[in-house]
Structure 1
Amino acid sequence: YTGEKPLLPNVQTWRCADKDALAYVLDNLAELVVKEVHGSGGYGMLIGPTSSKREIAAFREKLIARPSNYIAQPTLALSTCPIYTAKGLAPRHVDLRPFVLVSPEGIDITPGGLTRVALKKGSLVVNSSQGGGTKDTWVMKD
């Protein structure tokens, strides 16, 4: 919608409603992140690399029962930023949510966005409903 090619590719996504995609996801659950299609807040998801064999087996049953309810993506290596903890500064995983605004005059990309922070050490879950935090992000230019 901006008339430009993206600089970064989208994250590969498998729709589990597709038979071939479901087969791939079931074979690779331990390496993938699986989310509910209509989910929010980080609930109802599986992070394969941090899940136990029991959790993966239970999630496998949910996928088989209702494959159209799920998508899967590779587990990404998130960036980190420093946060202040009781023991001083420590790195925590982050992701960035940029904002694009549409108006009758056109499309504007905001000079920043919302950085979501996983406040728990080692966690990849940045959702505020799951204990994550936020940081303002501004892009400055000369």
Structure 2
Amino acid sequence: SAYYEHSFLADSMGIELVEAADLVVDDDRVWMRTIAGRVQVDVIYRRVDDDYLDPLVFRADSMLGVPGLIAAYAAGNVAIINAPGNGIADDKAIYSYMPEIVRFYSGGEAKLPNVETWRCREPQALQYVLDNLDQVVVKLVDGSGGYGMLVGPTASRQEIEDFRRALIAEPHRYIAQPTLALSTVPTLADSGLSPRHVDFRPFVLTGSKGVQVVPGGLTRVALKEGSLVVNSSQGGGTKDSFVLMAEPRNQSQSQTIGGMTQSQGFGA
């Protein structure tokens, strides 16, 4: 579904875009098949879920993975980005522990407060959520793409009752949060310009030069009227993001940031 994005990134970075059939593992090393012969692969930026990454380790019926890839990774002969297992960071229950995690590792308080989050596996939190299903947002802890969500204020009575039964049956699978009042921006719709809800996702990189907040980010917009779900898989879209710089930057600095001059902004 994101093939255009993958193709664009590969072309822009000058790297190969491959499928599992293009790769082979031999002697714990990953090779890419080319018309000129095999070429060793040192780094893989993967867009395949963990379960399908290597049929010898995970799902044996996977046709998307590369047999032996995990053995090559464990041997240190190839780097995989995103690393297998880092999906734990997507677990929405883990998010609720971030203030404690920050405090444990840094000795200080988080600079950005968390959105209040109720872990439904805790009886008191579950009872609160059940009593306020029409006011909160309920999410699967391992959900993504806007799937498995209940937005209480806009949900039907039947949807609320369906989630009530699911919460009672498997409370450990859910968290809940208050419904946030997202900002709106003018958006071109069939009826003309009308407000649509948006959110903004910044990107923070950690590397040899420390922590860097990338100027710009991803602005997502809910194209459905009244919707608070901005995920592309749920009919959401994107809008350009513009960064207003306090002082002019020279051309070399502008090129460092996405190859754009300061007057162009940074597209989402």
Query: What is the TM-score when the length of structure 1 is the normalising length?
Result: 0.91
Matching residue within 34, 41, 46 for 2:138: 34
Distance change in 2, residues 1:74/1:136 (3 Å): same
State how 1:1-142 maps to structure 2 within 5 Å: 6=111, 8-142=112-246
Query: Structure 1 or 2: larger strand share?
Result: 1
Shift of 1:64: 0.7
CA–CA separation in structure 1 for the residues paired with 2:171 and 2:129: 10
Contact 1:111/1:138, CA 8 A, preserved across alignment: no
State the shift of 1:66 in Å.
0.7
Quick one: which amino acid aligns to residue 111 of structure 1?
Answer: P
SS in 2 for 1:29: coil
State the shift of 1:114 in Å: 0.5
What runs of 5+ residues in structure 1 fail to find an aligned partner?
Answer: none
1:101: Cα distance to partner? 0.6
Say how many residue pairs are matched: 141
| Identity across matched positions, percent | 66
The code of the aligned residue for 1:49 comes to: P
Shift of 1:9: 2.7
1:63 aligned partner, one-letter code: L
Structure 2 portions without partners, runs of 5+? 1-101, 247-268
CA distance in 2, matches of 1:5, 1:52: 37
Aligned counterparts of 2:226 and 2:218: Cα–Cα separation in 1: 20
Deviations 1:63-82 (A, max 9, x none): 01111110100001110111
Query: Which moves more between the two structures, 29-38 or 86-95?
Result: 86-95
**Structure with the larger RCO, 1 or 2 (CA within 8 Å, 6+ apart):** 1
Q: Whose radius of gyration is greater, 1 or 2?
A: 2
Q: What's the secondary structure of 1:138's corresponding residue? A: coil
- Greater fraction of residues in helix: 2
CA distance in 2, matches of 1:82, 1:90: 5
| Cα 1:4/1:61, change in 2 over 3 Å | closer
Q: Distance in 2 between matches of 1:66 and 1:124?
A: 25
Range moving further from structure 2, 83-92 or 49-58: 83-92
Mapped to 2, the partners of 1:91 and 1:133 lie a distance apart of 14
Look up the SS of the partner of 1:129 in the other structure: helix
